[in-house]
Amino acid sequence: MAKKPDQSAMHFETQAVHAGEMRDKAHDSLVTPLIMATAYPFEDSDELHRYFRGEHERAEEYGRYGNPTQDVAEKKLAALEAGKLADIEALLTSTGMSAIVTTLLAMVKPGMHLVITADSYRKTRVFVREFLAKFGVEHTTCEPSVAGIAAACLPTTRLIITESPTNPYLNCIDLAGLVAFAKPRRIKTLIDATLATPYNLRPLEFGIDLVVHSATKYLGGHNDLMAGVVVGKRELITALREHQGMLGALASPFTAYMLIRGLKTFAIRMQQHNRSGLAIARFLAAHPKIEQVWYPGLETHPAHAIAKAQMHGFGGLISFTVRGDLAAGSRVVDAVRLPYLAPSLGGPESLIEQPALMSYYDKTPEERLALGIRENLIRLSVGLEHDQDLIQDLDQALASV
């Protein structure tokens, strides 16, 4: 039998390849097999008794409650998010939004108050404002800072929801300060860290209770799968797993298999995203056709000091405004030759969009501005192309303004 390496002592890059996987796999396969079964038979009634008493090592019973391929993906994700923390588990879901919805439905109850920052993901805010409110869950939306969150909390507040960095302006929350406020008051903290990824930021190490990712983005990394994950202490994830079994927000075994495959190169991809993101942000910040650039790696970003203190790198998402109006932004988006005009982020292909159109087309310019969305705002997800090729492409596109 092959020797099992000590995964806790591995560097992040090595964990991305090996964590969560058995050294000896079924049929002597090098890669974790894709298991498509919906049910897992028991040898006899005695094995069934031992399984339900927790005396049997087997983990699977029925596909809605677990899958061997899913289990490996969850263990790998937990290892990447946990760092040196113990008793951390991950729950894989069908999408990032299903991770949010499953978590909130499991944690809230009528009469509870929660706080959500104003620049959290739009659909998360809609779910809190329109769906949870129907069931007597109260909320306050606040500015994205520890001071803003603290001012919004009530005696009945039991959950704080925020992101770091946020989309599209990449604001960063002081996680140590947030935990210092929330823990003594017994308020749970939930961070959507999709844009940061565990390569650049591990909120659990600061004392955050739960971390959510859209694994569709950087974790999957190839624009070819949809999944979500929530990571936290074992007792919290166990409770969420029970609710997932009822709600059915499952990632398919094939999705789990593809996610494992994507995670093998995750650390190397993030190094390139970080390098190119910073280089392109600096180019844009110096360009005469650009009004403003939002990228936490730039000293001009309002949250740069926070980001520098708690992040390993700053990712591949950049937001910027061009000189002009909505039409000027459209000319730039239409003139680029490498990035695709599409939503999402975190894949090998660079993507570009105007949030005013892609995400807020149903709003008037006045309504968009009230939400903080400028007409001339462009969001660029930097892919894995060479940064100089992207810079040259952006330079020629900006000539159209």
- Tokens 């003594």 found at: 184
**What is the number of other CB atoms lying within 10 angstroms of the CB of residue 391?**
17
Type and span of the H or E element at 186: none
- List the one residue out of 195, 198, 194, 162 whose CA is nearest residue 177: 162
The token duo for 255 is 């999705």
Quote the CA–CA distance of 56 and 47 in Å, as a whole number.
7
The token duo for 117 is 């920052």
- How many Å from the N-terminal Cα to the C-terminal Cα in the chain? 64
Residue 291, helix vs strand vs coil: strand
Q: How far is CA 400 from CA 91, 307, 335, in A?
A: 46, 33, 7
Q: One-letter amino acid identity for 305?
A: A
Quote the CA–CA distance of 38 and 69 in Å, as a whole number.
12
Residue 58, helix vs strand vs coil: coil
Quote the CA–CA distance of 339 and 332 in Å, as a whole number.
11
Active site residues: 64, 121, 192, 217
148 φ/ψ angles, rounded to the nearest 5 degrees:
-65, -40
Quote the CA–CA distance of 196 and 192 in Å, as a whole number.
9
Quote the CA–CA distance of 256 and 225 in Å, as a whole number.
9
The DSSP result for 24-46, as a single string, is S-GGG-SSPP----SB---SSHH
Per-residue exposure over 327-355, b if at least 16 CB sit within 10 Å of its own CB, e if not: ebbbbbbeebebbeeeeebbbeebbbbbb
